[in-house]
A and B are shown apart, each in its own frame.
Chain A
Amino acid sequence: EAGVAQSPRYKIIEKRQSVAFWCNPISGHATLYWYQQILGQGPKLLIQFQNNGVVDDSQLPKDRFSAERLKGVDSTLKIQPAKLEDSAVYLCASSFYSAYNSPLHFGNGTRLTVT
């Protein structure tokens, strides 16, 4: 099966600019996650979708971050305006929600550098 696809692979922007990341999960996976991984730390969940609905966005900085999953498939994560502390790898993952022990499958991530 095809894996989780993410783009772009790298992005460099200046602070106060905006940026968007794209994710295409594994076909049939209803649950989609966006994680932020700051250098030297473990991934931190930003937002979790179940189909096209948000089920957990408690750690999403909503004043600057937004995400959507139109039609319950692809998802985009946007940052506007970006801050220096947003420099990180943004990982997208998906899982087959109906399986209790369904592991998460991750994409290769987007490395964002804010200068």
Chain B
Amino acid sequence: AQTVTQSQPEMSVQEAETVTLSCTYDTSENNYYLFWYKQPPSRQMILVIRQEAYKQQNATENRFSVNFQKAAKSFSLKISDSQLGDTAMYFCAFMKHVEYGNKLVFGAGTILRVKS
């Protein structure tokens, strides 16, 4: 079974600075996807960024980028120029394709607080 581990329960960063959230996972699969979701107090899970395991190039989405190390099974999220609106719970998630749809497994989450 796949497991996702986020070892940082809470992180803080000053506005405009850079912060990195860690994630490791365990799987025997070769083809899979990794995601970072953001969950603000409104509770809606918002997709931040995703990475295909077969791609060596790290994904980027504006201020968000990942450092994907497939051999090490590591998938960290870097947030540049942090903004107050980035304050939220961040979840790392692993997805593999199953016969009927996709199976998504989440980590326990990291609370990120951006300070002014």
Residues of A at under 8 Å CB distance from B? 30-31, 33, 40-45, 48, 50, 53, 55-56, 89, 91, 93, 95, 97, 100-109, 111
Can you report 30 residue pairs joining A to B where beta carbons are below 8 Å apart?
A30-B101, A31-B100, A31-B102, A42-B93, A42-B107, A42-B109, A43-B45, A45-B103, A45-B105, A48-B100, A48-B101, A50-B100, A53-B100, A55-B98, A55-B99, A55-B101, A89-B43, A91-B45, A93-B45, A95-B102, A97-B101, A100-B102, A101-B33, A101-B52, A104-B104, A106-B37, A106-B45, A108-B42, A108-B43, A109-B43
**Chain B interface size, under 10 / 10 to 19 / 20 to 34 / 35 or more:** 20 to 34
Chain B interface, >50% SS class: strand
Cβ contact of A103, chosen from B35, B42, B44, B103, cutoff 8 A: B35
